[in-house]
Amino acid sequence: MGIAEGRVVVVTGAGRGLGRAHALAFAAAGARVVVNDLGVGLDGQPGPDSPAELVAREIRAAGGQAVTHGGDIATAEGAASLVDRAVAEFGRLDTLVNNAGFLRDRMLVNLDEDDWDAVVRVHLKGHFLPLKYAAAWWRAEAKAGRQAAARVVNTSSGAGLLGSVGQGNYSAAKAGILGMTLVAAAEMGRYGVQVNAIAPAARTRMTEQAFAESMAAPGEGAFDAMAPENVSPLVVWLGSDASAGVTGRVFEAEGGRITVMEGWRPGPTTDRGARWTPAEAGEAAAKLLAESEPPQPVYGAR
């Protein structure tokens, strides 16, 4: 019996990279998997192959159960049909792993509006809509007296936590995913839904250009710290019954390292009980900054 035995799991963007690794890991842990992938390139344009079907075949060849979904989950129709696919094929939905995304990197002054909209659409809207329709199904189940032990795992990034030079659109979308994760965890707990997020680091199509040297594959027999498969065990645990009670949390995962990320918390503060002048406010702020922890550097900053 695997840790996800009997669960029905949807993974978006599961044709390659992290999504593929997650889908295979869930199947190995006993889950029935819906493999979603639009089959597009890094720029969001359709490709000639069907990566979702290749992953599903791999799962079935290993004795698991998997079906595919090729819809655009950043549309209401595509997201709704994703949930429908899971329920129609397997009778239920237990876990949603939001993973789909792509990059269009530019410095902010060179970033076109279309590049901003496309990245925010796929990452942020592409998380929101599957979450919305999955949550609606779980809410209906709860109201019918069949409360689920449901799980959602969202995919953010270090760029969403700290920012990343040349990735203003991506960083904003990934930061938005963190905010949405916290709200969803608070709103959906009453229906038996736990919502968490990961900020993974791994070698994928999205990262191989930016980190070509640091993410090079190791020699034969060495631990490949940048392999996507290293992130999946945490995702499988978060998507299983074993993670009961864990919700509204963010984890970094890279190689053999797992870190619980702690978000904004009040630091040094002062209150004079009256309005400040600009000069007084500046003096007070400078004193508080001297007492505070310095921020972590933005990725790519010098």
Residue 277, Cβ density class (10 Å: 0-12 exposed, 13-18 middle, ≥19 buried): exposed
Give, in order, the Cα–Cα distances in Å from 143 to each of 94, 140, 193, 265. Answer: 16, 5, 13, 36
> Is 133 in the active site?
no
Residue in 174, 191, 240, 243 annotated catalytic: 174
User: DSSP state, 32?
Assistant: E
Q: Is 198 in contact with 153 (CB distance < 8 Å)?
A: yes
Q: Is 19 in contact with 204 (CB distance < 8 Å)?
A: no
- Interstrand relation of 150-155 and 95-97 (parallel, antiparallel or unpaired): parallel
The one-letter amino acid code at 3 reads I
Helical ranges in 158-205 per DSSP H = 158-162, 168-188
> Is 174 in the active site?
yes
Residue in 156, 157, 164, 243 annotated catalytic: 157
Residue in 125, 156, 164, 170 annotated catalytic: 170
Distance, CA of 124 to CA of 128 (rounded, Å): 6
> Is 157 in the active site?
yes
Question: What distance separates the 2 farthest-apart alpha carbons in the chain?
Answer: 71
Q: Show which residues are catalytic.
A: 157, 170, 174
